[in-house]
Every structure is written in structure tokens, then in C-alpha cells.
Amino acid sequence: MNSEIVVSVCMGTGGIAAGGDMVMQAFEKEFEEAGVSNAIVKEHTRLHKVGCRGFCARDVLVDISVGGIISTYQYIQADMVNRLVKDHCIGKRPVTEWMVGDDYHNFHDSQTKIVLHDLGKIDPESIDEYIRVDGYKAAEKALTTLSPAEVIDTVKRSGLRGRGGGGFPTGVKWGFCAANESDQYYIICNADEGDPGAFMDRSVVEGNPHAVLEGMIIGAYAIGASIGYVYIRAEYPLAVERLHMAIKDANERGFLGKNLFGSDFNLKIKVKLGAGAFVCGEETALIASIEGERGMPRAKPPFPANKGLWSKPTIINNVETLANLPHILNKGAEWFAAIGSEKSKGTKVIALTGKIRNTGLIEIPMGMPLKDIIFDIGGGIEGDKLFKAVQTGGPSGGCIPQQHIDLPVHYEGLASVGSMMGSGGMVVLDETDCMVNISKFFLEFTQSESCGKCVPCRLGTKRLLEILTRITEGEGKEGDIELLQELAEDVRDSSLCGLGMSAPNPVLSTIKYFRHEYEAHIKQKKCPAKVCSKLLTFFIREDMCVGCGMCVRACSVNAITGEKKQPHKINNTLCIQCGSCFDACKFSAVLKE
């Protein structure tokens, strides 16, 4: 009879932030105390950390397996561990009121996991656990039974496209690189995701760093690279720590270094920390940063596959692209190509955030409708509000309105409505979001992160932001919409790199689908979503005001008057529309229109 007790604690960034490390310590303490008098606990207990479980909003997530029967718990804190050990681990009586519900299972059951398959199951700091799930078998297969050309052909037949932005076919890119005559080739893993709300690459590196290294080995062998770099932002300390640990362990086991798997192939992988510049996600800017230069893009061609790092042929793939490769080599190109759509094969990892009940990290087959992602996996809109739009592809993506809720999520589907896949960010918006303000929010980011090398991006995004700011502050004028559209198209068509070219997407897509909101801001000086404070009028409902004085104390310009326990009033000639009174009122007596 299997009497093993296995406890798995989420120790990704989300889990640690929710108290995962303290939960781990509490389990260690409880098992140690229980083991003194209980031989089963002492001899058959295994406690280990795992990476991101996906449903980050429910952390700390804990799996307890007793005799092979697994129960999953949510919102676990250190002071709850004593009962879990006594009742479940020892008494074999699961604590049902702390267990996850149907929404947790619906969140996971609707997904198709390839890259995320082992996250939350294996210890990311243990190379043995990665080997236990067939780790490094794909690399060994490639190096010992396939030629570089056969590896490239396999990746081509799989239909794998780059998961970092434009979706260029991975095998085709490798073929371009390998065709060059050179004394040195390089492979680079781009782990520098900088999109607001994006945490796909970070979670994969934190939760399964060896999968990324194995993908790099396969790619390096295919193009003949003996040196590889992982370019990762310094703001990801846990991912960086586990990456260094994985490289060290892989070197010690002979999976990196010289004569890999008994072949004559050598590969050294280095880690390069980025300083957090968004533009360094663009491949030529990333290369400049590794070379010690300022991270700024250069004109293409030549492309990095022909002339990249230190002017040598270079392949750059992002984390998710590389993490797919071991599965493709192990299970075959045809297996991977059977998942997804005709032109977009496989799956896509997405960071699902915004006004949605179930936020977290998900993986869906290419072509899944937006509706299924938002309402099945995501559980619908938070607070039962109306779905308004979803912004995909990071700050350079577009906003997709409710009328396209059945749109299939793949490269060509998103592009058909003016958005993009990007690295996989998805921000859900509801009826309380102002689309003009959303456009302004993303332009603030891209304008601030513009490297400044080319005039269209440097000045064009600045002017776009100035116009959007005027509109949201009630100073918009006739012709502003047309000016925005014309300027956005100019920036898109004439910027140097892909980041500048895609920066106007939020403006263009919101004008296309939500032009009426722009018109309301300009012509009526009103914000339909009641978000833009300079366009709001605040007033107090006398029948709801109890005269508590909270609004008076919150108002910095003394615009509110009234006797204690009597209805108050707002003098709108003095009011600066800051909204402090609205936030301070506990009785919902302050309204805005």
C-alpha cells in the first residue's frame, strides 16, 4: 500500500508574495514535530517547492497527496498548516472547506498545456525532477540521432512560430542562420518581457528553467552555435537565481559544456542581465545591450540571423518558443502541428489579467475563441459587469471590442481586427473603463520607453500623448480624432523598429471601435465611462448623506460645506474634480456624472 505523503507548495513569485516561504517553513516544523512520534510521517513524507500553478489569485496553493490521492488547497497561510498536517497528512481527513472549488478545475480543464505542463508539478531547483519527466532526452536525441539539418526540418514541419511577437516561423529563421558561412554562431534566449501585466516568460523560467536550457541546446546544435546567452531583466531575481542554479547543475551533469552526450558538440550558456528597458525586447536593441552598447535598435536588413551578435549569425528566440522544442523533438512534428489552427500551430501561453474573475497564467490551443478564454477559463467579468473590450499583445497591441467576442485567438485572427499576439498579454476591460483613457495609458508607457533613436517614434508618440491628454482633460477640439489617426498611421509606417511601428495600435484600434467615446469627450465634454476626472461633475444626494463629514475632510480645496449630521453640498465652482470625496464617502452619497 502506498503510504507516501507528498506536499507541494507554490513557490513562484506569486506564491512567495502570498506567504509561500512561511508556509514551507511551517510544514517543515510540523513534519519534524510529528515525525518524532509517527514513523509514517518521518519515513514517507516529501515536501517540495513547485513553480507557478497558474491560478495566481488563489495563492498560496498547496497540493497534498496521501497514498496517491491529491487534494488542492487555496489561500493557505502558515497558521493553517498545523491542521492540514494533523487532519489530512496524518489523519487522512482532507480539510474540505479549504480546498479549491469547481472554478479552479474549470480554469485548468479548459486549457491545453505543453509549455506549462510540468509547472506546479516539479521542483524547479531540482535537475533530477526535470530528468524524471524526460528532461534532456530531446536534446540527447537531437545530438545523437539527428543531423542539424534534420532538427531544422523537424521544427519547420511542426509549424512552430516565434512566441515573442511577430510569429515568424522558427525553423525558417534557423535555416537562414545555418546557411551562413561563419567561424562563430550564437543563440540568444530573449527573456526580457517588459509588457505591463506580462509574466509568462518569468513564470516559465522560475518554474522550469531546464526546459529553456534544453531548448537552447537543441537550437544551438541546429545552427552550430557554441555560445548562448539568456538575456533576462534584473527585476526577475527569483528567475535569475533559478536560472543560474539550472546552468550550474546542467554543466555538472554534462548537459552543457564540452562533448554533450558523447558528441563533439560544445555549448556554453551565459546570463546577461538587462536593466529593464522595454526597447531591449527588440532583437537588435537586445544585441546592442549584450555587446555593452546602449540598447537601441538598428535598421534591418541585415537581420540578426545573417549578422547579429558581434556581426556573427545569431538566432534569438524567446522563452516560450524554446520551451516548446523538447516536446516537439520528443513527440514529433506531426503531434505539435495537429494542435491549433492551419497557420498557427500549437498552443499559446497567456497572462490573463484585468477586470476578470480568474486572473493568472494560462495556455490555450491556438484558435480558441476569445469568448471561451474570458468566460470559461476566466470565469467572466468581475462584479457581473458588462464585457467591453480586451487588449492583447501588450502596450503595442490593439483593443478588441465585444462585437468580436467569437474571434479565434491566433496570429492571423488578432491581426485581422487591428491587434496582435505579441508575447501573450491579455487585459480584459469592462463597462467602467474609458477607452480614450486606456489608449492614453498605453501611450504613456510606450512614449516613456521610446529609445529616441528615430524621429517618428520619439516625437510622434509624444504628440499622440499630448493630444490624448488634452482630450481626457476636456480640452479636445474638432479635428483631433482625424489628427490622431493621421499621426498614428505616420508613426506606424515610418518608425525604425517594430516597437515604434506598433506603438500607435491602441490609438488606431480604439478610434476604430470606440470613436463615439472620443466624440463624447470632445463634443460633449463628457466621459461616458465616468473615468476622466476633469470631465466629471460631483454632487451629493441629500437623501443619502448622513453628514458624517468624511467628504469635507477629504476635500483639499474646501468645496464641500454642511452642518454635522445634515446633508452636505459641493460647490462646483471650487471643485477641482479630484474625486477624493467620492472615494471617502462610505454611504455612496457622492455621485459623479
Residue 85 CA, chain-centre distance (Å), reads 34
b/e string for 497-530 if b means 16 or more Cβ within 10 A?
bbbbbbbbbbbbbbbebbeebbebbbeeebbbbb
b/e string for 73-90 if b means 16 or more Cβ within 10 A?
bbebebebbeebbeebbb
Instruction: Give the whole-angstrom CA distance, residue 199 versus residue 239.
Output: 11
DSSP letters spanning 276-294: --GGGGSHHHHHHHHTTS-
Give the pLDDT score at 65. Answer: 92
- Angle separating helix axes 455-472 and 480-494, nearest 10 degrees: 160
Q: Which 8-state DSSP code applies to residue 90?
A: I
- What percent of the residues of the chain are helix, what percent strand, and what percent coil, each to the nearest 5? 45, 15, 35
Give the pLDDT score at 1. Answer: 45
Instruction: Give the whole-angstrom CA distance, residue 507 versus residue 399.
Output: 9
The mean pLDDT values, 10 residues at a time, for the chain of 593 residues are: 81 94 93 64 76 92 91 96 92 94 91 95 95 96 96 97 88 96 96 83 95 98 97 93 97 95 95 90 93 92 94 96 97 97 94 93 95 94 93 88 94 90 89 95 91 91 95 94 95 90 92 95 93 88 92 92 91 89 91 86
Give the pLDDT score at 284. Answer: 94
C-alpha distances (whole Å) from 126 to each of 21, 133, 206, 207, 242 are 17, 12, 12, 11, 10
Domains of the chain, CATH where assigned: 5-100 (3.40.30.10), 127-337 (3.40.50.11540), 347-430 (3.10.20.600), 435-524 (1.20.1440.230), 536-592 (3.30.70.20)
**Which cell numbers hold the place of 248?**
550550474
**Which of left, alpha, beta for 428 (phi over 0: left; psi -120 to 50: alpha)?**
beta
Give the pLDDT score at 36. Answer: 46
**Which cell numbers hold the place of 33?**
514535530
Give the pLDDT score at 43. Answer: 59
Beta strands in 88-197 (DSSP E): 186-191
Decide: residue 482, CB within 10 A, 0-12 exposed, 13-18 middle, 19+ buried: exposed
Give alpha helix (H) positions in 159-229: 170-178, 200-207, 209-223
CB within 8 Å of 501: residues ≥ 6 apart: 491, 492, 493, 495
Phi, psi of 300 (to 5 degrees): -125, 140
